[in-house]
Amino acid sequence: MSWIEVVDARGRVVARRTAEGVPCTLGSAPDNTLLIEGPDVAAYHARIDQEADGRLTVTVLGQSSGLHRPGAPERALSLALTPSAPVAVGGSIIRLVDEVTGAVAEGAHAPELSASRWRTFVARRPVQWGAAALLALCGAAIGYFTMPGTGRAANALAVAVALLLVECAWVGLWALAGRIRHGRARFGQHFVAATAIAIVGWGVAEVESWRQFLWPGATAFAIVLPAVTALVWALAILLHLRIMNRAHWHRHVRIAAGVGLAVFFLILAARDYRVPWSDEVEFSAVLKPAPAALVPARDPARFAASLEALRGKLDAEDEHQASAEK
């Protein structure tokens, strides 16, 4: 009896079935006959068929990255599978053997296994619960230290809950798309990625907000910071796409780059668009009450001048609005 075996990059036999059981499919989706993990493996990568003369043929499905012989870079849409001619898919090898070469590695079919360290890290339950706790803590700190009013505890709770709900909604959309397209939601992994990106994005936004008052004429900052913001968005999209599907790296990069460019040009286009409450939002949410020693100013006098200028601008807008209402 002949067997079809899947051998991973470490030389372990991770899947096996009899050659008489064809046709069968292989890929990263859990409902494939042969489950294969790898960065270049599509959800439904290829199908193994038996020809009229008894030979086995491996044929690509959909938009997978193709097939090749081990050690040969040339890609093909269809390759014969024989004992002397195995087929490489991503980092794994599909081979035909006449005798079983050993037991299938224990746990090899677990859907959450991944060759990438960062995917293994975000798949851990303690990491996922830690991300939720960190997001709630950040929200509580924002509500407690930056929102005006006496009910600081209530503000902290409200912002923490709001951040968790918003992120759960964002992550839920990615998880639902992953479930529909690839059979796996991976909600927790998406949540860890979203939390990391949210914290990085918040830090970039803080730098941008302080720049408006500490270095108002810095043209380089005015270009670099929107570019960094766009890069954060592109990285967020790329991480979610890679969690949802490990194949199609180049397509994912193109999608993420497109989103990043769109965000960059939208920020530049919206920079001069202001509404009456814009400066008030900046004054209350950006120039937060803080000890002078903690203000990131190269020149405290310069910061004080910027603050006074903003106050004067707000007063002028209030007077203009009041006269318009009369």
Mean local confidence (pLDDT), 163-182: 89
Q: What is the pLDDT of residues 27-85, one digit of tens each?
A: 888 778 888 877 678 888 899 998 888 889 999 987 677 888 988 878 888 999 998 89
192/128 Cα distance (integer angstroms): 6
Angle at CA of residue 85, ends 24 and 65, nearest 5°:
60
Q: Which of 314, 286, 317, 298 is nearest to 218 (CA)?
A: 298
The confidence band for 173, taking pLDDT boundaries of 50, 70 and 90, is very high
Q: Give burial (CB, 10 Å; 0-12/13-18/19+) of 74.
A: exposed
- Please indicate, yes or no, whether residues 275 and 207 belong to a single structural domain of this protein: yes
Residue 110 in domain: no
Q: What is the pLDDT of residues 128-159, one digit of tens each?
A: 999 999 999 998 988 887 776 667 888 889 98
- Please indicate, yes or no, whether residues 121 and 28 belong to a single structural domain of this protein: no
Residues written for the chain: 326
- Please indicate, yes or no, whether residues 211 and 277 belong to a single structural domain of this protein: yes
Q: Take residue 218 and report the two structure tokens written for it.
A: 């810095």
- Please indicate, yes or no, whether residues 193 and 263 belong to a single structural domain of this protein: yes
- Please indicate, yes or no, whether residues 8 and 36 belong to a single structural domain of this protein: yes
162/302 Cα distance (integer angstroms): 36
- Please indicate, yes or no, whether residues 130 and 176 belong to a single structural domain of this protein: yes
Residue corresponding to tokens 């093909």: 76
- Please indicate, yes or no, whether residues 91 and 176 belong to a single structural domain of this protein: no
Residue 216 in domain: yes
Residue 305 in domain: no
What are the Cα distances from residue 72, in Å, to 60, 96, 241?
17, 18, 28
Number of domains the chain is built from: 2
- Please indicate, yes or no, whether residues 164 and 193 belong to a single structural domain of this protein: yes
- DSSP notation for 237-271: HHHHHHHH-SS-HHHHHHHHHHHHHHHHHHHHHHT
pLDDT at 205: 76
Residue 309 in domain: no
Least confident of 68-72, 187-191, 269-273: 269-273
Mean local confidence (pLDDT), 102-108: 51
Residue 180 in domain: yes
Residue 111 in domain: no
| CATH code of the domain in which 39 resides | 2.60.200.20
What 117-126 contacts at long range (C-beta under 8 Å, 24+ apart), as own/partner pairs, is 119/189, 119/242, 119/243, 119/246, 122/188, 122/189, 122/192, 122/193, 122/243, 123/186, 123/188, 123/189, 125/188
Residue 321 in domain: no
Name the domain boundary from 64, 97, 130: 97
Full 3-state SS string of 152-168: HHHHHHHHHHHHHHHHH
- Please indicate, yes or no, whether residues 145 and 32 belong to a single structural domain of this protein: no
Using DSSP's 3-state secondary structure scheme, residue 16 falls into: strand
Amino acid identity of residue 186, one-letter, is R
Q: Using DSSP bridges, classify how beta strands 87-89 and 13-18 pair: parallel, antiparallel or unpaired.
A: unpaired
- Please indicate, yes or no, whether residues 122 and 263 belong to a single structural domain of this protein: yes
Name the domain boundary from 97, 129, 163: 97
- Please indicate, yes or no, whether residues 39 and 86 belong to a single structural domain of this protein: yes
Residue 37 in domain: yes
Name the domain boundary from 97, 126, 144: 97
- Please indicate, yes or no, whether residues 242 and 123 belong to a single structural domain of this protein: yes
Residues of the domain holding 212: 117-283+294-299
